[in-house]
Amino acid sequence: MSSNKVLFVLGLFLSITLLLLSSCAEEKISPKEIPITTNSDEALKLFLKGRDMYDNLKTPQAAELFDKAIALDKDFAMAYLYRANSGGGYKIYRENLSKALDLLDKVTEGEKHLILYSNADNSIEQKTKLDTLLNLYPEDKRVQDLAGNYYYVLQDYPNALDHYKKSLEIDSNFASSYNSLGYIYMGMNNYADAEKSFKKYIELIPNEANPYDSYAEFLLMQSRFDESIEQYNKAIQTDPEFITALIGIGNNYVFKKDFKKAREYYQQDYDKSFNINQKLGALWWKAVSYLHEGQTADAIKVFDERSKLAFENNYTTAGITGYRFSGLIFADKGNIKEAEKYLNKTSDFIKSSQLRDDDRKAFEITNDLDRIYIQTLKKDIKGAEKGLEALKQVIVKRQSTTEIEYLNFITGFLQFQMGNIKVALQHFQQTGEGNPYIWYWEAVAQEKMGDKQAANALYKKIAKYNANSVSLALVKEKAKSKM
């Protein structure tokens, strides 16, 4: 949506390294910035223009420019890297990232470590590459911004804040970092400074759509729905092709409980989409709106439609994810038979799809944890314990933050069902800060422990939370009823 935090690579300030480029271009070289290797002036121009669009979340337009840059320079490693992260599904992502990796011996040290950062399997490996980049280019504002992004994802807000501020010390008009600051302050519940940061972001680049979109998301999170819709409309007025703002408007109407209106905007986004990836996004939010409304059958129907479209267009991971969430939704609703049916579908596609080995392994581990969740719901405690113990050893060794957090939730859920509420609570509290579904079970555990004040605070937090997701849709109304 409006924040570029979810992207693998934030735009990095680019300079030129090859003598093949013109003397005018050579003057752009700065020892403070990560250099870029290309043998084509025109490819570089296209890349830089695409980079600007990418930074402002115009990824379909950026992807087109990266493709054109690659056509002019088949050895343009950074163009492949950015193209990998600009949409097109799993196949395009892996093909382009692999080409960037194949060119590591033809690029500079900074480019090499940036590519390896993007290819890292876990946060520890990422940090090694990031520390190298920071050591090589401490005065590159975009490297500092990338470091902020790394810590933001880990929810280490103080470290993230430090790096974003460093990027602004280097360039006080660096718009991207004001956007980042806004999200960091939101994560720290410092809403006054968050709003100031988003307004500064708008002030610096008022002719771009993303600043209005980011500010609109802030307003949505504050339940200032009409103001949020106004800002999303400004984003569209500024750039009619910035159609992701339509999703934001739809989300506002979900929380206003006008689900029909919400789906009208999701449909507009679907109809105006530039590619399959955007269409899949529109269908996802349409399904989530049905969950908020309590219409589970309609939600599953849309998820099925989405998975079908994904597989037909080689968006393998999107198709697998759709079936997985359908299974988890059925499990939450107590329909274990249908839950197992969808998790079996998920498993079949994981086995049969053309995935890279490490990606397949990640999906397999998640699927195995999902099955332990189902076993727990079926009261097969011994089977769940046995499976969890075997998985724990694998997950701890892999050091994937996402897998460790999900392991903690499943462990906590199992302990809760066994009556070990205190142990369950400890595991729930080790799962990070961004999942309302886990907050809900933490609240239930607090209630069981007799701490009604802590439980009510969590229920209230869920009830007021407006970052739309499947997890939130499953527990928002339940939390309200518990308050």
Q: What is the pLDDT of residues 245-259, one digit of tens each?
A: 999 999 999 999 999
Q: 402 CB contacts (<8 Å, ≥6 apart)?
A: none
Model confidence pLDDT, tens digit, residues 282-329: 999 999 999 999 999 999 999 999 999 999 998 999 999 999 999 999
Whether the Cβ atoms of residue 161 and residue 145 lie closer than 8 Å to each other:
no
Q: For residues 226 and 234, what is the distance between their CA atoms, to the nearest angstrom?
A: 13
Q: Is the pLDDT of residue 9 over 70?
A: no
**Residue 366 placed within a domain:** no
Query: What percent of the chain lies above the pLDDT cut of 70?
Result: 94
Whether the Cβ atoms of residue 45 and residue 65 lie closer than 8 Å to each other:
no
**Residue 478 placed within a domain:** yes
pLDDT value, residue 12: 31
**Residue 318 placed within a domain:** no
Q: For residues 318 and 320, what is the distance between their CA atoms, to the nearest angstrom?
A: 5
Query: What percent of the chain lies above the pLDDT cut of 90?
Result: 81
> How many domains does the chain contain in total?
2
In three-state secondary structure terms, 129 is helix
Distance of CA 327 to the CA centre of its chain: 21
pLDDT value, residue 16: 25
**Residue 237 placed within a domain:** no
pLDDT value, residue 236: 97
Model confidence pLDDT, tens digit, residues 344-370: 999 999 999 989 898 999 999 999 999
Q: 190 CB contacts (<8 Å, ≥6 apart)?
A: none
Mean pLDDT, to the nearest integer, of 214-236?
Answer: 98
Q: For the stretch 138-157, what's the b/e string if a residue is b when 16 or more beta carbons lie within 10 angstroms of its beta carbon?
A: eebbbbbbbbbbbbbeeeeb
**Residue 185 placed within a domain:** no
Q: For residues 454 and 46, what is the distance between their CA atoms, to the nearest angstrom?
A: 54
107: domain CATH number is 1.25.40.10
Phi, psi of 45 (to 5 degrees): -60, -45
Residues 307, 310, 312, 315, CA torsion sign: negative
Q: For residues 396 and 392, what is the distance between their CA atoms, to the nearest angstrom?
A: 6
Element (DSSP H or E) covering residue 15 = strand 15-16
Residues 23, 25, 27, 33, CA torsion sign: negative
* Amino acid at the residue 463: A
Model confidence pLDDT, tens digit, residues 56-115: 778 888 999 999 999 999 999 999 999 999 988 788 999 999 999 999 999 999 999 999
DSSP string over 185-246: HHHTT-HHHHHHHHHHHHHH-TTSSHHHHHHHHHHHHTT-HHHHHHHHHHHHHH-TT-THHH
Whether the Cβ atoms of residue 183 and residue 163 lie closer than 8 Å to each other:
no
Whether the Cβ atoms of residue 213 and residue 232 lie closer than 8 Å to each other:
yes
Arithmetic mean of pLDDT over the chain:
91
Point out the domain boundary residue: 72, 90, 119.
Answer: 119
pLDDT value, residue 30: 60
Helix axes 276-293, 470-482, angle to 10 degrees: 20
Q: For the stretch 102-127, what's the b/e string if a residue is b when 16 or more beta carbons lie within 10 angstroms of its beta carbon?
A: ebeeebbebbbbbbbbbbeeebeebb
Q: For residues 130 and 132, what is the distance between their CA atoms, to the nearest angstrom?
A: 5
The band of 15, judged by pLDDT with boundaries at 50, 70 and 90, is: very low
- Name the DSSP class of 7: S
* Amino acid at the residue 22: S
Q: DSSP H helical segments within 27-76, as ranges?
A: 41-55, 59-72
**Residue 459 placed within a domain:** yes
Q: DSSP H helical segments within 239-356, as ranges?
A: 244-255, 259-272, 276-293, 296-312, 316-332, 336-352
Q: Is the pLDDT of residue 337 over 50?
A: yes
Phi, psi of 334 (to 5 degrees): 90, 5
Q: For residues 46 and 52, what is the distance between their CA atoms, to the nearest angstrom?
A: 10
What is the longest distance spanned by two Cα atoms in the chain? 73
Q: For residues 452 and 459, what is the distance between their CA atoms, to the nearest angstrom?
A: 10
Model confidence pLDDT, tens digit, residues 418-445: 999 999 999 999 987 779 999 999 999 9
**Residue 81 placed within a domain:** yes
Burial bucket for residue 301 (CB in 10 Å: 0-12, 13-18, 19+):
middle
Point out the domain boundary residue: 119, 152, 181.
Answer: 119
Domain that holds residue 457: 433-483
Point out the domain boundary residue: 54, 86, 119.
Answer: 119
Q: 24 CB contacts (<8 Å, ≥6 apart)?
A: none
**Residue 41 placed within a domain:** yes
